[in-house]
Amino acid sequence: MNNPDGALGTDRPSAQDEFVTIAKVIKPQGRKGEVAAVLFTDFPERFESRKRLFALDKQGQRRKIELEQHWFHKGQVVLKFAGVDSISQAEELAGWEIQVPLTERVVLEQGSVYASDLIGCTVFDRDRQIGTVKDVQFGAGEAPLMMVEGVKEYLVPLAGEYVEEILLDLKRLQMRLPEGMLELDAPLTAEEKERQKQRD
């Protein structure tokens, strides 16, 4: 998997590895139990064939839910679940993650990966080891942001133009980042900390 221009399928890691999150409920939408959800998938058309879904509540409890209807609105998806028929019932779903089993995830083309599969990979910028991917965040910009833990925590854009090679079997992500990107928020040296104390 060494095609940096290949699609980076976006799903979101779940509390357990055998499920992936494809949407997250944010608020009620309508008067009959509909909810608006932010999408965490590059394949929203699959809602057409996915009627059996799972919901992970804020306490980490998962349950099966049945999707009755869905439509897209202003970049989000509106979902209507069986048994959720009022605004008050819909309000209870706020913050819940809508999931599918990992085995039902869309198979990507060769040269493409799911962003969540990068968790645990070691990130290299050319020959420099940066750290390990701990999480992938979505919605902050055009590209997902990887939380990479090294000498400090870095936020590294998962943009195709920065990716040179992805070796999932070796848990290695080879990148070529713009000069100075990682130094923008680099930790202070001992000398800089001392100067900062003197100013304070």
Span 23-69, pLDDT tens digits: 999 999 989 999 999 888 878 888 998 899 999 998 989 999 999 99
Report d(CA 151, CA 155) in Å as an integer.
Answer: 13
Q: What is the CATH number of domain 8-104?
A: 2.40.30.60
Domain 119-175 has CATH 3.30.565.10: no
2, amino acid identity: N
Q: Name, in order, each residue with C-beta under 8 angstroms of 98's C-beta and a sequence gap of 6 or more.
A: 21, 22, 23, 24, 25, 37, 53, 54, 55, 65, 79
**Span 83-107, average pLDDT:** 91
Burial of 123 (0-12, 13-18, 19+ CB in 10 A): buried
What is the pLDDT, as a whole number, of residue 144? 79
- Confidence grade of residue 137 (pLDDT, cut at 50, 70, 90): confident
Total-model pTM: 0.59
Delimit the domains of the chain by residue range: 8-104, 119-175
Q: Which residue has the higher pLDDT, 21 or 189?
A: 21
